[in-house]
Amino acid sequence: MATKLRSDINVTPLVDIVLVLLIVFITLVPAIPRVLSAALPGQGQGGPSVPLLRLILRGDGGLEVVGQPGASLAAALNQRPERILLKLHPDLPLSAPTRVLDEIKGRCPDTRVAVTAGAS
């Protein structure tokens, strides 16, 4: 006996998936933070800040502050830069940039740091 093809759609798997998603969203909504903190321009604490500080970590481990000849890292960080661009020599061991990044985050924890590699 030949069976006839059914032309209706089986919605049971669809309903199962929708119910599982509903349960997941209901349980996750209380965990989502209600307030997002955003740092808007001009709302920083303290006085005027340096927008970008460029640093070069040379192959011999020496640190150079670009645009400020003879300046040390501590003196440059006292100006509270908003962003820091750290250019690394590719042959440096991992401990050298880690030491510099630790000092930056210790003195200016809210400063954003970008790291790039390049021969210097």
In tens, the pLDDT along 94-110 reads: 888 888 899 989 988 88
115 close to 83: Cβ distance less than 8 angstroms: no
Helices assigned H by DSSP within 1-120? 12-28, 73-77, 95-107
Query: What is residue 18's predicted lDDT score, i.e. its pLDDT?
Result: 96
Query: What is residue 41's predicted lDDT score, i.e. its pLDDT?
Result: 61
Domain ranges of the chain: 52-117
pLDDT at 47 exceeding the cut of 60: no
Q: Which has the higher per-residue pLDDT, 38 or 115?
A: 115
Cα(111)–Cα(73) distance, integer angstroms? 14
pTM, full prediction? 0.55
